[in-house]
């Protein structure tokens, strides 16, 4: 179900007119629909209902504490990639046994923290890291719970910056090395191999990579068992994509979102593809969705500052830019942009750009938009994942505020950054 729609001319999220939020809290502003997040979580959870499983939410997608808390309450674990994300997850109420910790560059203090908290698994990404984990565990007189992050060499045919499972990517351990480590680390006093992990990449829109991943993990898990390890789980990463682009013309948004904000594949189809092989292992499955749980729940609200034509181009200059939403600049990502109040009239074609002193600072290029005036409010859609979490203070801009909407209620879940805090650092 879609919680965003037009009521006559006004954009409404759940039961709150979005313009009211922009006026009350100011812009730029992130707003999220709680009901949408809850629906997303339930749908994903049901997809894996046939097997023991845990959804370990990829905290990096959106680490607002209130969003973490609401997902934790629904039963989510956490996929963390730093000591900061582990801290946030623990504070939000995620039990240590439901936290996994990935990342190619873990610092020693982060590894030590993970071992001491006895989290579900440290997803080790290289032979050298495994050695370091073993050394730290020995010093602490502990047995570290480790899962090997495999690089399965599967191409998701997506943007190279968010493909992580091809052999040329920096992530994970090659299969042959993994096999050797599995043999070498049998009965190790300070390393307990509890899981196998892989993450193919992000914004996946096809089933086939998941099917292949299931097969690869099944084979490796069987090998691992033959070597005498007792695996406790298989962690298949995240990556399920969301539709950002409309299938037709944005001018029709007022009546029909044309697929924007829907998942790129049915969660059930993803689960079935993975489980086709993995089911036979009878091990709990961890799935680490980030984007699929929060992207379509979030909007970035921004106000039109100026309209300008130069060099034969038309620009709509707004008060949000790459500091608030980096995805267009970093990946040439498309985000639909709609007015908070619809105005009839001839459509314009323009670049929507931010105030940042970079030519690469844009939210949309050559976009067809309804007629606009100074002061108009716009919503950038599908901004709940990798929006605020990729924001920065560049150009000494305080970070935007965040608001959570539920039915006809709304509340601030992160205050706007303060100018004084820029000075304090
Ligand atoms: N697990 C691991 C180990 C990951 O590295 C990631 C994302 C996920 C799970 C969650 O992936 P998701 O379900 O959200 O696709 N900033 C980029 C996305 C980077 C994803 C990094 N890793 C973007 O805005 O598209």
Helix (H/G/I), strand (E/B), else coil: 372: coil
Give the pLDDT score at 161: 74
Instruction: Give the other-Cβ count within 10 Å of 140's Cβ.
Output: 14
Which atom number of ligand 1 is nearest to the Cα of residue 390?
Answer: 16
Length of the chain measured in residues: 425
Give the pLDDT score at 144: 98
Is the Cα torsion angle 124, 99, 220, 199 positive or negative in sign?
A: negative
Inter-CA distances, 283 with 194, 234, 241, Å:
11, 7, 25
Q: What Rg, from alpha-carbon coordinates, does the chain have?
A: 23
Give the pLDDT score at 300: 98
Find the 89 Cα to ligand 1 centroid distance in Å: 17
**Which residue, by CA, sits nearest to atom 7 of ligand 1?**
202
H or E element, residue 21: helix 18-25
Give the pLDDT score at 173: 94
Q: Is 357 in the active site?
A: yes
Distance of CA 408 to the CA centre of its chain: 26
Residue 416 has phi, psi (to 5 degrees) of -60, 140
Buried-exposed string 95-104: b where 16+ CB fall within 10 A, e elsewhere:
ebebbbbbbb
CA atoms in the 13 A half-sphere facing the CB of 208: 4
Q: How far apart, in whole angstroms, are the C-alpha atoms of residue 375 and residue 373?
A: 6
- Among candidate residues 49, 128, 357, 396, the one labeled active-site is 357
Inter-CA distances, 196 with 45, 243, 392, Å:
21, 30, 34
**Which residue is associated with the tokens 């965003």?**
4
Domains and CATH numbers, the chain: 4-12+21-28+296-416 (2.40.37.10), 34-291 (3.20.20.10)
- Cis omega (within 30 of 0) for bond into 361: no
User: Which residues, including other chains, have CB under 8 Å from residue 297's CB and lie 6 or more apart?
Assistant: 3, 32, 33, 34, 36, 37, 40, 384
Quick one: CA torsion of 315, 27, 32, 251, rounded to 10 degrees?
-30
Q: How far apart, in whole angstroms, are the C-alpha atoms of residue 31 and residue 384?
A: 8
pTM of the model: 0.97
Is the Cα torsion angle 278, 264, 55, 155 positive or negative in sign?
A: positive
Q: How far apart, in whole angstroms, are the C-alpha atoms of residue 135 and residue 212?
A: 34
CA atoms in the 13 A half-sphere facing the CB of 173: 25
Report the pocket of ligand 1 as residue ranges, CB < 6 Å.
Answer: 58, 61, 79, 102, 162, 199, 202-203, 237-240, 288-292, 327, 385-386, 390
Nearest to 240 by CA among 203, 186, 266: 203
User: In this structure, are strands 144-151 and 99-101 parallel, antiparallel, or unpaired?
Assistant: unpaired
Give the pLDDT score at 380: 98
Which atom number of ligand 1 is nearest to the Cα of residue 295?
Answer: 14
User: Which residues, including other chains, have CB under 8 Å from residue 207's CB and lie 6 or more apart?
Assistant: 265, 269, 270, 273
Ordered per-residue pLDDT tens for the chain, 425 residues = 589 999 999 999 999 999 999 999 999 999 999 999 999 999 999 999 999 999 999 999 999 999 999 999 999 999 999 999 999 999 999 999 999 999 999 999 999 999 999 999 999 999 999 999 999 999 999 999 999 999 998 988 877 777 777 777 788 899 999 999 999 999 999 999 999 999 999 999 999 999 999 999 999 999 999 999 999 999 999 999 999 999 877 767 887 888 999 999 999 999 999 999 999 999 999 999 999 999 999 999 999 999 999 989 999 999 999 999 999 999 999 999 999 999 889 999 999 999 999 999 999 999 999 999 999 999 999 999 999 999 999 999 999 999 999 999 999 999 999 999 998 75
Quick one: CA torsion of 382, 383, 385, 389, rounded to 10 degrees?
180
Give the pLDDT score at 257: 86
Q: Tell me 201's DSSP state.
A: B
Give the pLDDT score at 158: 79
Enumerate the β-bridge partners of residue 286: 54, 235
Q: How far apart, in whole angstroms, are the C-alpha atoms of residue 155 and residue 270?
A: 16
> 72, 89 in Cβ contact below 8 A?
yes
58, 101, 152: residue to mutate for ligand 1 pocket, most atoms within 8 A of CB: 58
Tokens representing 111? 């590894």
Tokens representing 182? 């599995």
């Amino acid at each position: 179900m879609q919680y965003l729609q037009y009521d006559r001319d006004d954009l409404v999220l759940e039961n709150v007119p979005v313009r009211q939020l922009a006026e009350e809290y100011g812009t730029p502003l992130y707003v999220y629909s709680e009901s949408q997040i809850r629906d997303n979580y339930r749908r994903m959870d049901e997809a894996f209902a046939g097997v023991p499983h845990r959804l370990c939410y990829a905290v990096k997608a959106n680490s607002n504490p209130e969003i973490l808390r609401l997902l934790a309450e629904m039963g989510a674990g956490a996929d963390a990639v730093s000591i900061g994300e582990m801290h946030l997850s623990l504070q939000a109420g995620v039990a240590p046994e439901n936290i996994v910790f990935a990342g190619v560059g873990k610092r020693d203090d982060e590894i030590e923290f993970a071992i001491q908290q006895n989290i579900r698994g440290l997803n080790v990404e290289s032979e050298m890291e495994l050695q370091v984990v073993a050394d730290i565990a020995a010093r602490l007189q502990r047995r570290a719970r480790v899962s090997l992050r495999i690089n399965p060499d599967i191409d998701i045919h997506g943007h190279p910056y968010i493909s992580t499972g091809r052999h040329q990517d920096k992530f994970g351990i090659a299969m042959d090395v993994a096999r050797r480590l599995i043999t070498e680390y049998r009965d190790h006093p300070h390393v307990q191999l509890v899981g196998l992990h892989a993450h193919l990449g992000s914004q996946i829109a096809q089933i086939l990579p998941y099917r292949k991943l299931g097969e690869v993990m099944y084979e490796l898990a069987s090998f691992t068992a033959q070597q005498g390890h007792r695996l406790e789980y298989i962690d298949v990463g995240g990556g399920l994509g969301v539709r950002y682009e409309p299938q037709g013309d944005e001018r029709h948004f007022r009546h029909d979102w044309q697929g924007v904000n829907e998942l790129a594949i049915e969660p059930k189809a993803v689960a079935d593809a993975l489980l086709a092989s993995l089911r036979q292992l009878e091990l709990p499955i961890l799935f680490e969705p980030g984007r699929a749980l929060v992207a379509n729940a979030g909007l970035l609200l921004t106000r039109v500052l100026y309209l300008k034509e130069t060099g034969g181009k038309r620009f709509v200059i707004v008060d949000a830019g790459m500091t608030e939403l980096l995805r267009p600049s970093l990946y040439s990502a498309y985000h639909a942009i709609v007015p908070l109040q619809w105005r009839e009239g001839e459509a314009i074609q323009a670049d929507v750009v931010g105030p940042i002193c970079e030519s690469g600072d844009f939210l949309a290029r050559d976009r067809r938009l309804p007629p606009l005036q100074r002061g108009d409010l716009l919503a950038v859609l599908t901004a709940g994942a990798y929006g605020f979490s990729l924001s920065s203070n560049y150009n000494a801009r305080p970070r935007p505020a965040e608001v959570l909407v539920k039915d006809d209620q709304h509340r601030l879940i992160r205050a706007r950054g303060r100018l004084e805090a820029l000075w304090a650092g």
